[in-house]
């Protein structure tokens, strides 16, 4: 296992019944090509026999190993652990529930071998409840249109391949409250997409609760964008201008519906004061955002490649 071409990383929570099936499908996909690969299962502190199931597979196949987390930290923490453990020239992150078919891996690898550093498996169809697809599309719309991450698949992606160069950059970023997918998108490099149809879960239930989904939205927006601060500035401006206009109208004796001019002036003054208070809050938010940006210590730039350097050797006189 000193030289590994591909690391397959699977975050797992209560997936004891699915993992043996996934292992057989990985073997059928990866072994015919003579590829050197490893499978890293990160047990996110499951309540069932997930760790034991992988341990049984590891006894038969040295390419299989499992890391059990001491507490449940969520799939993004498990993915981060798996990327820290990966030895491959590239890594594929693949869920344990078999909704993301491992048969798509060769298509991801083909794009990687043609020069892509990140290959997203973009969902064409999501089975099950319609609200799942609506939430996913809303989240990725926010990330693409509001946060500005255009490389993210519009329909969402839970399944992807990344090159060793991207893994090495990712491992230098030690952020806690963030999205792995957004962070990989932010790193950059050449990113491409492969479409596939998401399948129905084989066994068990998803641990991706509404609370975790909402936390992901908050973490993603606040970690990569100052849009909430910008919205405070815009709202402050609108309140101040509208309040000043109302106060002016009241001062000129113009009524506003059933409100007397004096009441219009009072309402306008309250809106102006609210706008000023919100502007002050936005100013503090700007300083907090800048402090957060410095504390995260993200690199100001990431080098993808360099031109070849030719060293000119001086000729010494012969003696």
Task: Give every residue of the chain whose pLDDT is below 70, as ranges.
Answer: 1-3, 125-136, 154-156, 199-224, 255-259, 293-319
Q: What is the pLDDT of residue 318?
A: 41
Give the distance, in angstroms, between the CA of residue 311 and the centroid of all CA atoms in the same chain: 41
pLDDT of residue 312: 43
Cβ–Cβ < 8 Å for 240, 272: yes
Q: What per-residue confidence (pLDDT) applies to 7? A: 92
Residue 315 has what pLDDT?
A: 43
Crossing angle for the helix pair 19-30 and 105-113, to the nearest 10 degrees: 40
Residue 127 confidence (pLDDT): 57
Nearest to 180 by CA among 100, 29, 76: 76
Give this prediction's pTM: 0.68
- Cα–Cα distance list, 230 to 140, 188, 227, 279 (Å): 20, 25, 5, 10
Would you state the pLDDT for residue 212? 66
Q: Could you give the CA distance from residue 229 to residue 290 in angstroms, rounded to a whole number?
A: 11
In tens, the pLDDT along 279-302 reads: 888 888 877 877 776 666 666 555
- What pLDDT is attached to residue 239? 87
Query: Would you say domain 6-224 falls under CATH 3.90.550.10?
Result: yes
Give the C-alpha separation, 258 to 276, whole Å: 27
Q: Quick check: 26 and 39 in contact, CB under 8 A?
A: yes
* Domain residue ranges of the chain, discontinuous segments joined by +: 6-224, 227-296
Strands (E), the chain: 6-12, 37-43, 64-68, 90-93, 118-125, 159-163, 191-197
């Amino acid at each position: 296992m000193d030289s590994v071409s591909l690391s397959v990383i699977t975050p797992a929570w209560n997936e004891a019944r699915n993992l043996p099936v996934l292992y057989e499908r990985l073997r059928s996909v990866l072994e015919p090509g003579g590829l050197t690969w490893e499978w890293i299962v990160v047990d996110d502190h499951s309540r069932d026999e997930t760790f034991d199931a992988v341990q049984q597979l590891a006894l038969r196949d040295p390419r299989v190993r499992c890391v059990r987390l001491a507490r449940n930290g969520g799939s993004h923490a498990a993915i981060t652990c798996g990327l820290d453990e990966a030895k491959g020239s590239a890594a594929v992150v693949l869920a344990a529930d078999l909704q993301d078919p491992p048969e798509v891996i060769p298509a991801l690898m083909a794009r990687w071998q043609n020069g892509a550093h990140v290959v997203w498996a973009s969902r064409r169809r999501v089975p099950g409840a319609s609200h799942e697809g609506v939430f996913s599309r809303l989240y990725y719309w926010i990330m693409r249109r509001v946060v500005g991450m255009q490389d993210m698949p519009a329909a969402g992606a839970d399944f992807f391949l990344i090159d060793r160069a991207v893994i090495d950059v990712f491992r230098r970023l030690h952020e806690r409250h963030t999205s792995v997918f957004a962070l990989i998108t932010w790193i950059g490099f050449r990113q491409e997409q492969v479409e596939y149809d998401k399948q129905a879960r084989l066994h068990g239930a998803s641990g991706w609760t509404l609370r975790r989904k909402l936390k992901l939205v908050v973490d993603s927006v606040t970690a990569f964008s100052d849009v909430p601060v910008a919205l405070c500035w815009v709202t402050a401006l609108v309140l101040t201008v509208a309040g000043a206009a109302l106060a002016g109208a009241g001062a000129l004796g113009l009524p506003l519906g059933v409100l007397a001019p004096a009441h219009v002036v009072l309402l306008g003054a309250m809106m102006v004061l609210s706008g000023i208070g919100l502007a002050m809050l936005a100013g503090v938010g700007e300083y907090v955002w800048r402090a957060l940006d410095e504390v995260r210590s993200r690199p100001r730039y990431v080098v993808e490649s360099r031109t070849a350097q030719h060293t000119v050797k001086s000729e010494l006189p012969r003696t």
